[in-house]
A and B are shown apart, each in its own frame.
Chain A
């Protein structure tokens, strides 16, 4: 078992190292691609082996890492149902994405850097998920942050991409400060950093302190999971290559914040006000993301905003204490969102890097192998009844409803409203991209219209589509026999409340009606002949509400005004007034004065550095001799 756990992390890590050291000159291109994919699939096999051998939660200590006086943070891996199910998802989805990336990046000049970073990312993410103590988790946390930064700015020659990378790095760093403080504080309070021990110590910590700690962790999660108010980096992160968007910014990394809160939930869940804060953040983010996605024109930005929104749902689930429902949504979302991004990548490649949806059309006929899986993923996202996305979203909404009270009641309706908007923007995207007449591209493509795609890119869509659509089987609702995942995740100590079957059916009926209504609304607005009307409208620049939504509620402009300009003005003042005017000037004068004295003193010396050194050594030796023999 220990071996399996070690291999899960070591495979991608060694893949990254070997690729970095040998790739490029020594290894041919094909070899480094195969190496990168083999590392991830090897890790998947190790995870499956660990899953079959799994019987009870266990901690494996591999080696000591940080040990100084009473701080002990060994490299210890902790495997329980939560981390096991996440590991299975991560290795499988990332394996498919690596395979896809071979096709996507086949003309890129620097595949070694790309695949090494992707592998390193998977290693860091698995470290984060399997970590048995908080410093190790933080190592993985910063590791994924770094890889995300490097991969967003992968095409760094375009300054816009490099800026997007820096923005992601800086914004998530703001959240990481919160997590860092929380870890140090917990160590100071409890004297340990092991997650297991900390989760059992909740009773010994005053409730106010738990709330404060939880808020700090929530800040970390906001940064990493792109929640309001730290969500501004994710839409810009779409500057990276599409496999990166699929792997990091949809399926795995952005769920790290949710995972952190789930992991620490036994500790922080006892504070009701903190749970409410998490739930409100989640609901607000879900609503924000969905409304923004409604007005976007860039295919990848639609998906980015929808990721923000869906992670908001997961936070809402965590805030309502429904860890298994949130995990279920996390897994299903990873499948269908990776699928949607990979499908979008196929579309974008086929159209020669055209990302504006209003310049696409008719792809249903020219790209059938992309269309059908993409449609499956979109139906999951829209929450069409009986797809995986429907069951998982409904699980969260049911948990929120179950909490009751004015606050959670309001959040339930916010969730329903968001589900409606989700259905609308998803179908808008599908209808505009795939339906209608083919739009002549500029410059026009030769006959055949669409560039042929590498086969491997479309093959990887199918397993993800199947998993997304049939993902509901993982966790069926109670009246259909209960969920596998639910019983796997719930541990003996917890008692999650159960809805009666009739009210659960009622809630699912409501959710189904809302999703169908949303899809119908989208059809009424974008379906059939009305689609052409919208295309003509889109020629004009956006105004009013749609411009407001297109720019993401103008949050970027607000932050620019509040923080960026203030900072630039402050640093300009510090530079010109304080540094150059005050410090430099006084130093210059002192130096000039010293120089004048030095000139006078210099006249006495010989001026040879070696002679001065020699005399200094001799003088020091004389002093030491004096101190040892003469004074004693």
Chain B
């Protein structure tokens, strides 16, 4: 293993932070919010794979595969929701949708 685990964790932390900021700041667009979530998931996946390589256990890789499967399902569902919302309101602004309140 050439890349030490610390570097992987730092990279993952940076990615996670970027994703989080993207989610919190970009509130005018649901799609950017989804992208932020994806980036955070990928950061988590990176830690899994890095840990699996560090300790030679396949579990982490298995988890990464599971996350990939889950994300693809999640993205397809979320995009369908976005399309639906856009049709109803003609907007993708996150704060426009406040039906939970009413």
B95 pairs with A602, CB closer than 8 A: no
Distance between B58 CB and nearest chain A CB, rounded to angstroms? 7
B89 at the interface (CB under 8 A from A): no
Which chain B positions have C-beta within 8 A of A26?
none
Complex: how many Å from CA A400 to CA B4? 64
A613 at the interface (CB under 8 A from B): yes
B95 pairs with A606, CB closer than 8 A: no
Partner of A613, one of B24, B98, B100, B102: B24
A69 at the interface (CB under 8 A from B): yes
**Given A598-B100, A605-B100: A610 and B95 within 8 A (CB)?**
yes
B23 pairs with A607, CB closer than 8 A: no
* A: interface residue count bin: 10 to 19
Which chain A positions have C-beta within 8 A of B102?
602, 607
Which chain A positions have C-beta within 8 A of B27?
609-610
**Given A613-B24, A617-B24: A605 and B58 within 8 A (CB)?**
no
A614 at the interface (CB under 8 A from B): yes
Distance between A34 CB and nearest chain B CB, rounded to angstroms? 40
B97 pairs with A605, CB closer than 8 A: no
**Contact flags A538-565 to B (C-beta < 8 A → 1, else 0):** 0000000000000000000000000000
B101 pairs with A609, CB closer than 8 A: no
A608 at the interface (CB under 8 A from B): yes
Say what secondary structure dominates the interface of chain B. loop
Complex: how many Å from CA A441 to CA B58? 69
A609 pairs with B94, CB closer than 8 A: yes
A605 pairs with B24, CB closer than 8 A: no
Complex: how many Å from CA A603 to CA B98? 12
A608 pairs with B95, CB closer than 8 A: yes
**Contact flags B71-102 to A (C-beta < 8 A → 1, else 0):** 00000000000000000000000110111111
A610 pairs with B100, CB closer than 8 A: no
**Contact flags A209-228 to B (C-beta < 8 A → 1, else 0):** 00000000000000000000
A609 pairs with B24, CB closer than 8 A: no
Which chain B positions have C-beta within 8 A of A608?
94-95, 98
A607 pairs with B58, CB closer than 8 A: no
Complex: how many Å from CA A190 to CA B29? 55
**Contact flags B49-86 to A (C-beta < 8 A → 1, else 0):** 00000000010000000000000000000000000000
Distance between A9 CB and nearest chain B CB, rounded to angstroms? 29
B98 pairs with A614, CB closer than 8 A: no
B58 pairs with A69, CB closer than 8 A: yes
Which chain B positions have C-beta within 8 A of A605?
100-101
A613 pairs with B23, CB closer than 8 A: yes
Distance between A335 CB and nearest chain B CB, rounded to angstroms? 47
B8 at the interface (CB under 8 A from A): no
- In chain A, positions 581-632 with a C-beta closer than 8 Å to chain B are 598, 602-603, 605-610, 613-614, 617
10 contacts between A and B (CB under 8 A): A602-B101, A602-B102, A607-B98, A607-B101, A608-B95, A609-B94, A609-B95, A610-B24, A613-B23, A614-B24
The 9 A-B residue pairs whose C-beta atoms are closest, nearest first, are A607-B101, A610-B27, A607-B98, A609-B94, A602-B100, A608-B95, A607-B100, A610-B94, A614-B24
